[in-house]
Amino acid sequence: MTFALDFYPMEIRAIDAFFGRSTSGDALVEFPDGHSQVYALKHGRAVIPALPRGTYEVTIRGAGKAFKTPVALSKPQIAEFKVITWLDFASVALFVALFLIGLVVIGRPHLLRSPA
């Protein structure tokens, strides 16, 4: 008995959520049978050349905060994952700090005058 199986490539891309740049780290891929394998991201990309049809759980690690995401593979697939990097966290914190300082200055403009 002969079986013909289809195998498909999957490209994993990790992209910064705010700035759109590729991120570093690695991709943890959980296969449909339950085992996991780690693939290194080079320039934000990893290619797995031959995978059988199924649903894979992918988590990007090391670059910041990303979530476990299912990927249904039934044809050649390019899976892009948005990663919230530490630069994104710092940008939001800076924006909030500047916003709060701006509220204080707008509400009390006399704080900007010199005491002399």
Q: What predicted TM-score, i.e. pTM, was given to this entire model?
A: 0.76
Percent of the chain's residues with pLDDT above 90:
53
User: What pLDDT was estimated at residue 103?
Assistant: 84
User: What pLDDT was estimated at residue 111?
Assistant: 67
Model confidence at 116, pLDDT cuts 50, 70, 90, reads low
Q: Give the strands of the sheet with 69-73, arranged side by side.
A: 36-40, 26-30, 54-61, 69-73
Q: For the segment 73-90, what is each residue's pLDDT rounded down to a tens digit?
A: 999 999 999 889 888 899
**Nearest-5° angle of CA 102, CA 105, CA 106?**
85
Distance of alpha carbon 90 from alpha carbon 43, whole angstroms: 22
Return phi, psi of residue 13, to 5°.
Answer: -120, 130
Q: Are the C-beta atoms of 6 and 52 separated by less than 8 Å?
A: yes
Please provide the distance, in angstroms rounded to a whole number, between the alpha carbons at the two ends of the chain. Answer: 95
Q: Is the dihedral of CA 90, 91, 94, 100 positive or negative?
A: negative
The mean per-residue pLDDT over the stretch 99-112 comes to 79
Distance of alpha carbon 65 from alpha carbon 85, whole angstroms: 6
User: What pLDDT was estimated at residue 115?
Assistant: 66
Q: For the segment 17-52, what is each residue's pLDDT rounded down to a tens digit?
A: 888 888 888 999 999 999 999 999 999 899 999 999
